[in-house]
Structure 1
């Protein structure tokens, strides 16, 4: 996790709550403006990844105002993103991908929609492309055809959006997730406590529970607000609060003192 300190994730993709809210509001505002000017928000993407924006409509008069589409609100967009972020986890689980791929795909999806509104690019298509791109960057390559076949979707859509997604991510493709930090914390506990067999089993239970809590955290805005080490500590605290494996505060104060 040491590399996180010099990463583009830390420099460019961690925000204050105010800045994050502004990014979502700006993306929504741009889409609303497109709808008002063009009567549609959909940005078309061709096979090369080139974007074609809607053309400004000519006011023909009449009763066209009665048929005007209503844009999504910022909150409605948030609910739609949340729905498809859960779908990312479902797809990754169906393919039995490691947690790291799931986390990377989710981060890609979150970052993409800091640049765009869901009214401009359908999140179902972006979600699949993010999973595909995450598999490639995490060196667990699965073809677009295999992903498409596994979930009964046209794999050409995945390939079509790949360049648009990468460009929107500004080609910052390395993602740091909390899972490795959780494993490190549990290993440190095991060594520091000189754990015996029964204690090792409890720590393994803590690792499993903390990983599940991290999965939940990854579905929130937290990965865009906090470093992965802090997310890992939060997952550990929540899991330990349920299991009661260790005196969490006392142990980490001791570990901090030793370190």
Structure 2
């Protein structure tokens, strides 16, 4: 259950300001460690800054999603969500200059497959990679322990897709007059898909993201689900909890609206810089 989960206790943050602070710290720790011989001007020219790291990380979020969407056999969407959460958590405390995302992405997906019991062997997994499959298999297996260590072995992820399914089951049961459930589902799943490329999953409960997705797409279809939410879904909540939930849904929508579209074409030069500066991270002790 999410209320008693490691996700809530250790991986849910107050907002984007706290997340940005952690990412700045990770960037500065790398620069201070490997940039001792540079003066401040040279460090600023040679090393990536936090904004540049963010662009690279976001680029690889799309790489992760494209890999999962094209995976054979077909991969459940919640595996993608778990892998995406691993990637986001990893780079809260690590720099892309220390661990190149191309390596971490595939390790995140492979670990998510195992945790979510989507059973594929390492050979089946790397069969979905275009080239250097043997090298990729060795890399994934060598990085797996590192990834788990950096995630503090908190591997269970609560995503918004299962709560969303629960909402649709509830609507079909309690609101039989709502006939557009399949259209709503497509819109809500698209909302959640877009949320994967924001920080929403690091700030809000998965049930709140699911509800925000449902309400967002219902308004586009001209459906008013306010009475369902107030009179059936959260009828036992007090006024303060209701106001907090409404505020969080507004914040989720705002994050999706204000997250800038990534121009992936501009990331190529940054990727070359990150590859040139990549340093081997310390492996955890057995």
- TM-score strictly above 0.5: yes
- Structure 1 residues 38, 124: CA separation in 2 closer, same or farther (over 3 Å shift)? farther
- Structure 1 residues 194, 119: CA separation in 2 closer, same or farther (over 3 Å shift)? same
- Structure 1 residues 249, 26: CA separation in 2 closer, same or farther (over 3 Å shift)? same
Superposed displacement of residue 127, structure 1: 0.4
Superposed displacement of residue 239, structure 1: 1.5
Superposed displacement of residue 192, structure 1: 1.2
> What is the alpha-carbon root mean square deviation over aligned residues?
2.1
What aligned pairs does 1:216-231 form with structure 2 within 5 A after superposition? 216-231=194-209
- Structure 1 residues 11, 118: CA separation in 2 closer, same or farther (over 3 Å shift)? same
CA distance in 2, matches of 1:236, 1:30: 41
Superposed displacement of residue 67, structure 1: 11
CA distance in 2, matches of 1:242, 1:257: 22
Q: Secondary structure at the match of 1:37?
A: coil
What aligned pairs does 1:50-129 form with structure 2 within 5 A after superposition? 70-95=46-71, 96-129=74-107
Task: From 105, 114, 119, give the equivalent of 1:141.
Answer: 119
Superposed displacement of residue 68, structure 1: 9.6
| Deviations, residues 114-162 of structure 1 (Å, cap 9, x unaligned) | 1200010000110000000000000012223322231224221111111
What aligned pairs does 1:190-205 form with structure 2 within 5 A after superposition? 190-195=172-177, 199-200=178-179, 202-205=180-183
Whether contact under 8 Å (2:35, 2:43) holds in the other structure is: no
Whether contact under 8 Å (1:101, 1:138) holds in the other structure is: yes
Superposed displacement of residue 186, structure 1: 1.3
CA distance in 2, matches of 1:67, 1:183: 49
Deviates more, 1:184-193 or 1:149-158: 149-158
Q: Does 1:186 align with 2:186?
A: no
Task: From 137, 155, 159, give the equivalent of 2:137.
Answer: 155
RCO comparison, higher one (Cα < 8 Å, 6+) = 2
CA distance in 1, matches of 2:142, 2:44: 30
CA distance in 1, matches of 2:102, 2:121: 18
How many aligned positions are there? 227
Aligned partner of 2:3 in structure 1 is 5
Q: Does 1:250 align with 2:227?
A: yes
Whether contact under 8 Å (1:178, 1:232) holds in the other structure is: yes
Whether contact under 8 Å (1:111, 1:169) holds in the other structure is: yes
- Structure 1 residues 162, 38: CA separation in 2 closer, same or farther (over 3 Å shift)? farther
Q: Secondary structure at the match of 1:106?
A: helix
Aligned partner of 1:14 in structure 2 is 12
Whether contact under 8 Å (1:181, 1:232) holds in the other structure is: yes
TM-score by length of 2: 0.74
Whether contact under 8 Å (1:132, 1:143) holds in the other structure is: no
Q: Is the radius of gyration larger for structure 1 or structure 2?
A: 1
